[in-house]
Every structure is written in C-alpha cells, then in structure tokens.
Amino acid sequence: MSLVDDLKRQILLDGIEGAELEKIAGMVDTFKVSKGDPIFRENEQTRGMYMINLGEVEITKKLPIDLKTKMLITMRNMQNCCQIRKTPFGWRQLFASLIEGQYFGELSVIEGKKKHGADADAVTDCEFYLLSPDKFAIIEATSPETILKMLKTIARVSSKNLRYLDRQLLKLLIGI
C-alpha cells in the first residue's frame, strides 16, 4: 500500500484528497516504535502531531499518590469511571487508548505547546506518520482549505471527547 493510500485511512485527513493529500504525504515523517516502548514522556519536547498507521497507543499521566488518594482511586475504579492503575512506573491514569487511524499530539501544532503534558506508550508494535509544527505551518500558509478540513476534524473529535469526559464526571459525582 502506498503512503497516500495509508493517509486516506487517517481520521485527521478525512475529506482531503488528490493533490492536497499528496502534498501532506511529502511532509510527514514515518517512524516505528516497538511494543512497550515510550513514544514520548511528559515534559519532553514536542515533535508534532502523530497519526497512527499501525498499532495501539495509550496516553497516561503519572499521579502523585498518598493513602487518601489510594482510597479515592479504589472508589473511582469501583464506579468504573476512571482507569487508574499501579504500574512499575508508579500510579497512572489512562486518558486515551488509541488505534490505527487516530491521532494525538495536536496541541503541539494548534497551541504551539513545546512540552508534552502526558506520556504516550506503544501497547503494540506501532507505525506513525508525524506532522511537525513547521510542516503544519507550511500547509496552513499555502493550503488554508486543507487546514480548515483538518481543524474541523480536530474540533469534531475534541467535542466527542469532551462529551465522554462530561459523562465520566457525572458518573463520578453522582454515580449514574
């Protein structure tokens, strides 16, 4: 399968075709990460927006834990509203489990974030397409229609994620 064909399967690039998609194909970097290895760690320098071509990724954040917090975690886990678990690297909260076609790291290109706010780990062997902030800026300057399509997708996915978090918060607060 060609790079352009792979990019057609990316949620982020929904509705982008032809020359627009070929232009993006010329701007992304491809790289692989083995199962269990980190993609990035919290506070590391951002590299851009990641599109998952193959594999599964977890986005987690380390939590400082004391006895009171452990009790709260137990209650939350019993209500099945948050995934907080103990790992060899400490207590972690799972924010997202992502699969082929999904993306992450969009704040580095939209907000210009320079440091990651969480960890990303390869749950399986993974292959990614990385769109750097510089390349995103080039597309923005030369193809505003393409960026508009990408931003609409980001807004749609963010809205869906926000509704999910709202339901989780209600579940936590009132147990529904």
pLDDT of res. 36: 93
* CATH 3.40.50.720 fits domain 3-174: no
pLDDT digits 0-9 by tens, 13-22: 999 999 999 9
Q: State the Rg of the chain over Cα.
A: 18
Rounded to a whole number, what is the distance in angstroms from the first to the last CA of the chain?
45
pLDDT of res. 126: 98
Which of 133, 31, 132 has the alpha carbon at shortest distance from 39? 31
Q: How do the domains of the chain map onto residue ranges?
A: 3-174
Q: Per-residue DSSP letters for 41-54?
A: -TTSBP--EEEEEE
What is the Cα–Cα distance from 158 to 54, expressed in whole angstroms? 22
pTM confidence score: 0.83
